[in-house]
Amino acid sequence: MIKEEFPLKKVCLICAKGTIEDVYATLVMGNGAVMEGIETKIFFTFFGLDAITKKQMNSLHTGTVGNPAMRMPGGLPFPSILGMLPGVEAGVSAMMKSQMGALDIPPVKEFLEMIEAGGGEIYACKLAMDMFKLKKEDLWEGVKDVLTVGDFYEKCGGLQTQIIFT
């Protein structure tokens, strides 16, 4: 039997959440695809827009309430109720950013620049932009365009495309 291989040629990522862990999952996967020579397009929608909004991109936080995977130092589960206390979310977010810095993980803007320099394309969702009353000038300058979801899917067309929703 002859085995046919269909290598992945294009990946389209959709980032709809604005927490550090969700945005960085998108950026890591997007950068990895670019580094592998895979055509990469990233669509930021709803709260994912925070990652490409100039005023928000450096102020992302970790979700501390309702995150069952969150652990305290030592591996104990993080009691979700603690996330409601003043300063806890900011402290956890600062700790996460510090750990990422120690691993030399770039800040959001630098990650976006790396993806763009590698040929990746960054898009914003028109519906979310309208909902949050944002204009293109509110976005990081590397955003290629503001598109409807239909326009983005059209750019993702093709049989060897993987669409990933984060």
Query: pLDDT for 35-54, tens place per residue?
Result: 999 999 999 999 999 999 99
**pLDDT digit string (tens) for 61-97?**
888 777 777 777 777 777 777 777 788 788 888 888 8
pTM for the model: 0.86
Cβ proximity of 147 and 123 under 8 Å:
yes
Closest-CA residue to 39 (of 139, 100, 119): 119
CATH 3.40.630.30: does it fit domain 10-62+108-165?
no
Give how far Cα 14 sits from Cα of 17, 84, 122, 123, 151, Å. Answer: 9, 29, 10, 9, 13
